[in-house]
Structure 1
Amino acid sequence: MATFSLQSHCFFLLVLLLMILNLRHHLALAGGCQYPPVIFNFGDSNSDTGGLVAGLGYSIGLPNGRSFFRRSTGRLSDGRLIIDFLCQSLNTSLLKPYLDSLVGSNFQNGANFAIVGATTLPRYVPFVLNIQLMQFLHFKSRALELASTSDPLREMMISESGFRNALYMIDIGQNDLADSFSKGFSYSRVVKLIPNVISEIKNAIKILYDEGGRKFWVHNTGPLGCLPQKLSMVHSKDFDKHGCLASYNSAAKLFNQGLDHMCHELRTELGDAKIVYVDIYAIKYDLIANSTNYGFEKPLMACCGYGGPPYNYNVNITCGHGGSNGCDEGSRFISWDGIHYTETANAIVAMKVLSMQHSKPPTPFHFFCAG
């Protein structure tokens, strides 16, 4: 048993080393980004870099952030998110939360409007997608106003061309599905809501396009039925061969099909826009299905949580709160807290995103370099 454990650990270290080298290769290729782009991101907790903490003062403490930042930054992970790795690949600073009043007024490389728990519907409820769009429009108006004055802050603001050439990233929809299931909605009822969610995302892209945006990067949603949180709270036994909830994943795949089709339609409708659709689902499900190939030991178990195997998730004792425990080696886990991914898993996802194998149309991320 000890020999097997040692072999497994050595194999894991080899896989991790290869992953890091591959990621550095992709980052180096994109590192020729002499003029990093302005990036605006809209989404939920998968890409929230501190918006919930800044906007609501919500406490997100250690062990969140322990692996890279050595402190909590408001990210729901032990380290960097996918968006952080993508920003680093373009040699640009990590995106600051739009609502963070303590980061100064320097948003020269863009802003992050994503907030934990964000959905697309219902509208006008903080901080759903259309509220994030309203925040962006206010930000843009104020930035351009300052740029036209003698205010010292004008040097730290984005110009009209900056907004026009910016990359607009959208990663939302998971919570619309998850919240509907948590309310006890049937599978058919959840599926019927999908066109409305897609419509909100389409409307957001068209608003940004009307504001001059021409570069869009759209993530689909991951395998909802593989999240330890869902697995621990659902009594249904409709598992697929990898232990995930089949109905939840089926809904996620239907959403993704609709999102893909919407992006295809918009490419025709908005002929001068670049709209890239990224299949995050395929990447994340591959991590689950082939977890041992990546050095992950328990693909459906949270690193940080309470309750132990099989899922280590308790809705009343979640990661970072009293009674919860963090595993010793988060790099051996896919799930950080039952909902979000560890930094190691996020790094692998980012590496695969940068490979262009899951993008439609295939587009190198450094295509979005400015200048």
Structure 2
Amino acid sequence: MTGHASLLLLLLPALAAVLLCCPLAQCGQQNYTSMFSFGDSLTDTGNLLVSSPLSNHIVGRYPYGITYFHRPTGRCSDGRLVVDFLAQAFGLPLLQPYLQSRGKDLRRGVNFAVGGATAMDPPFFQEIGASDKLWTNLSLSVQLGWFEQLKPSLCSSPKECKEYFSKSLFLVGEIGGNDYNYAFFKGKTLDDAKTYVPTVAAAVTDATERLIKAGATHLVVPGNLPMGCSSAYLTLHPGRNGSDYDAAGCLRTYNDFAQHHNAVLQRKLRALRAKYPQARIMYADYYGAAMSFAKNPKQFGFTQGPLRTCCGGGGPYNFNPKASCGVRGSSVCADPSAYANWDGVHLTEAAYHAIADSILNGPYTSPRLL
């Protein structure tokens, strides 16, 4: 065997590893040239930070952003979010928050999501008596309005827009979780909240349809996370006995509620697919992806478990609403990657990475994203 042949045999395994790990957009997979996202704090990369003085006292200070950016960016985590991992996987830049994008070229995408945002508009919360709980009035419909204002700068004719958006990925959510959070934290019961589900889910699918009519053809619509695994819910709405918790230690009733919302949302998305067969509408099962590490945390490197927060102010789950992350009296863990839960409401970068990987490469998108 020649020296060149021997060298080739040695290099083949390394070459294969490089091919498997290269960015998806460079691996012959779906090649998106731009990305647009909508939603709440699970997706916001800095809009709440500049739109609400309240946020500066929380996500605008240490230790938010310590893992990847090494500074607060307005993300409600120690580092990157699912939207960031998706952008990087497709070889796109991290999306600029819309409210910080003046004068910048946005043809490769922008993020309209706002922390605290809801699927429903403020009058809905006035009607149910929960308007005092709202962190922001920048609801999903406001975000869609921003997109429509921006659209003329992205493409100028129906033909040009059709071509441009045929290579764009739209992330519609997660959104809707706060609609229920505000209701529950106002004292509404699970039965009360169940009556809101059809309306909230319809707001999400109506937004999806509005984007399709505007030219979107590739849309990912995530469901809600398992709220019963949130240390905020575990602390503020504890079970009465052991049977109220599942094997992972999560609250059964609140997880059942999240699954109910997701089931209703999926039914509405199926109807939307039938109405718009030319569009690729993908449901992202954030619930299933998160439950995979809630049930098997060590398999994902979460040696400190899935429920206890990395950053908090004490208590059984290290969540204290009077000493929340970033506030005096709270402290941050030494290794956020050992935790799935960041601050009691939001997840760590490591957990978001696991979810992103699951929806890119696992069984948690329907139809498959890739």
Same-fold call, TM > 0.5? Answer: yes
Q: Do the aligned partners of 1:302 and 1:311 also contact (CA within 8 Å) in 2?
A: yes
Shift of 1:26: 5.6
Query: Is 1:321 aligned to residue 321 of structure 2?
Result: no
Greater shift in the superposed pair: 235-244 or 180-189: 235-244
Q: Secondary structure of 1:39's match?
A: strand
Aligned pairs for 1:1-371 (under 5 A) are 25=20, 28-32=23-27, 36-57=32-53, 58-59=55-56, 60-101=60-101, 104-123=103-122, 126-141=137-152, 143-144=154-155, 161-163=163-165, 165-171=167-173, 172-237=175-240, 238-296=244-302, 297-308=304-315, 310-364=316-370
AA paired with 1:199?
A
Partner Cα distance (2:46, 2:112) in 1: 10
How many residue pairs get matched?
Answer: 331
Partner Cα distance (1:298, 1:261) in 2: 33
Q: Do the aligned partners of 2:221 and 2:284 also contact (CA within 8 Å) in 1?
A: yes
Q: Do the aligned partners of 1:118 and 1:127 also contact (CA within 8 Å) in 2?
A: yes
AA paired with 2:26?
G
Shift of 1:363: 3.0
Shift of 1:23: 12
Partner Cα distance (1:166, 1:331) in 2: 31
Partner Cα distance (2:18, 2:25) in 1: 11
Partner Cα distance (2:282, 2:301) in 1: 30
Partner Cα distance (2:139, 2:193) in 1: 18
Shift of 1:294: 2.0
Shift of 1:236: 3.5
Partner Cα distance (1:322, 1:159) in 2: 49
Q: Secondary structure of 1:61's match?
A: coil
Q: What's the % identity of the aligned pairs?
A: 34
Q: Do the aligned partners of 2:121 and 2:137 also contact (CA within 8 Å) in 1?
A: no
1:226-281 C-alpha deviation (Å, 9 max, x unpaired) = 00111111143322222211111111000000111111111111111110111110
Q: Could you say if the C-alpha distance between residues 274 and 205 of structure 1 is closer, same or farther in structure 2, counting changes exceeding 3 Å?
A: same
Q: Which residue is 1:11 aligned to? A: none
Partner Cα distance (1:189, 1:36) in 2: 41
Q: Could you say if the C-alpha distance between residues 265 and 195 of structure 1 is closer, same or farther in structure 2, counting changes exceeding 3 Å?
A: same
Q: Secondary structure of 1:282's match?
A: helix
Partner Cα distance (1:208, 1:290) in 2: 37
Q: Do the aligned partners of 1:26 and 1:351 also contact (CA within 8 Å) in 2?
A: no
Shift of 1:291: 1.1
AA paired with 1:299?
P
Q: Do the aligned partners of 1:66 and 1:72 also contact (CA within 8 Å) in 2?
A: yes
AA paired with 1:137?
E
Partner Cα distance (1:280, 1:69) in 2: 24
1:277-318 C-alpha deviation (Å, 9 max, x unpaired) = 11110110111111122232232111001014x211111211
Partner Cα distance (2:18, 2:256) in 1: 30
Q: Do the aligned partners of 2:31 and 2:167 also contact (CA within 8 Å) in 1?
A: no
Q: Could you say if the C-alpha distance between residues 276 and 268 of structure 1 is closer, same or farther in structure 2, counting changes exceeding 3 Å?
A: same
Q: Secondary structure of 1:99's match?
A: helix
Greater shift in the superposed pair: 331-340 or 232-241: 232-241
Partner Cα distance (1:24, 1:312) in 2: 41
Q: Which residue is 1:9 aligned to? A: none
1:91-127 C-alpha deviation (Å, 9 max, x unpaired) = 000011111156x422121111101111111357721
Partner Cα distance (2:45, 2:207) in 1: 21
Unmatched 5+ stretches in structure 2 = 1-16, 124-135
Greater shift in the superposed pair: 230-239 or 38-47: 230-239
Q: Do the aligned partners of 1:177 and 1:190 also contact (CA within 8 Å) in 2?
A: yes
